[in-house]
Every structure is written in C-alpha cells, then in structure tokens.
Chain A
C-alpha cells in the first residue's frame, strides 16, 4: 500500500517555462515532506523540504507547496533549465516514526532546450 504517490511518471517542459511536479499522500500523520532529485547512476540528492506547519517553502528557483487538507504537495521549478532534467522523488516522514521515510515512485522531468 503506497502512502506517497506520484501519478505522473514523466513530464516534458520547454526551457524557461515552469515545471510543476505533483505528489499525493494518504497518511495524515506525515509531518515533514521532501523532494529529491536523481540523475542516472547516482543516488538521490536532497532538493527542498517543507514542514507540515507551513504551506510554502522557497529556495531559489524551487518552491514547494503543501495543501494538507488535500494531502497534496507540489514542486515548482521556474524557470526550468535543461540541467533540471532528472527523476524527482517526493518523500514523507511519519510524525511518530521520525527516521522512516516513504518515497513516491518518481517523475522523470525532461526540460527541452
């Protein structure tokens, strides 16, 4: 039973435009959410996170939005760059299980020059 879902396996965006990656979760006890970026043959690298007490966190071109009532979060990348092409994973942590993280299946982003 997947508690974190990324329903879009792939996304293609033109360079300079906005990329929006979506993630849904089912566990209302999740209190901390993260996005990771993964290039081929490398491990995932941390990108940005958000606590459940916030609804938005911004870091440069990357912004994560959290809608707790809808159990939905999204990652916005603007402007998108070809170097952003990678697989993006959404992850979440349980409030009572601090060190156990649940990952979505990933969305492969392709930013076209």
Chain B
C-alpha cells in the first residue's frame, strides 16, 4: 500500500514568512510524528499525535512552531516568522499507535525547507 507522503518535497521561503508542511500518514495509522533533521544530524523529535490530539509536543523549539491533525489523519506543521535556522529537512512518520514495543515508525521522504 501507499507509504507516508509529504508535500512539498522542497520549500524555499524568505526570512519572516509563514510556511505549512503537509504529511499524509499510512491509512489506519493512529500515531503521527514530526521530526526535524539538520545537516549532519539525526532526526530530532518535534511532536507526536495520537489520533487528533498532540500527546507530546515537548520537542517544538518555540511558539513559532505549531502542528495540527484535525481529523486524525493528515497533519500540517506550521512555522511562523521563519528564521534561517529553521532550514532543515522536516520528516513525518506514522505508526499503528498504542503502546506496543514493536510499534514501528514509517517515515516519509521529508520536506526540505530552506529559509533565505
């Protein structure tokens, strides 16, 4: 079946602008994660959704970052007043959810955000 998809694949914006990044998880997956991967680093946890609610948003760096998942499927990561330091690849992952130790995360290809 279809995997996790993310749009756009690339986004170039100017400092101070607002951007939205979209994630379509695997159908039936109740858990959804956003990560940020800076150059030369591993993915860094941002936020985790279980269904429609943000169960853990402790990784969001500041209040310029916000994410929603209104119907428990598609999620949008929103970044206000973008800064050059926000440039990174933003990864989305989904999983079946729940508290199984074998709950595997499936990643999308990421959105490469460049803030000029």
Contacts and interface: CB of A to CB of B under 8 A. Distances in A.
B116 interface: no
B102 A49 contact: yes
Contacts of B33: 99, 101
B58 A100 contact: yes
Contact of B41 (A36, A91, A100, A105): A105
Nearest to B59: A100
Q: Is the interface of A mostly helix, strand, loop or mixed?
A: strand
Contacts, number: 56
B48 A100 contact: yes
A102 B109 contact: no
Most buried by B among A4, A43, A89: A43
B: interface residue count bin: 20 to 34
B99 A98 contact: yes
A101 B105 contact: yes
A63 interface: no
Given A97-B56, A99-B33, A100-B58, A46 B104 contact: yes
B16 interface: no
B4 interface: yes
Nearest to A51: B101
Contact of B45 (A36, A44, A101, A104): A101
A41 B109 CA distance: 6
Interface of B: 4, 31, 33, 35, 40-45, 48, 50, 55-56, 58-59, 91, 93, 99, 101-102, 104-110
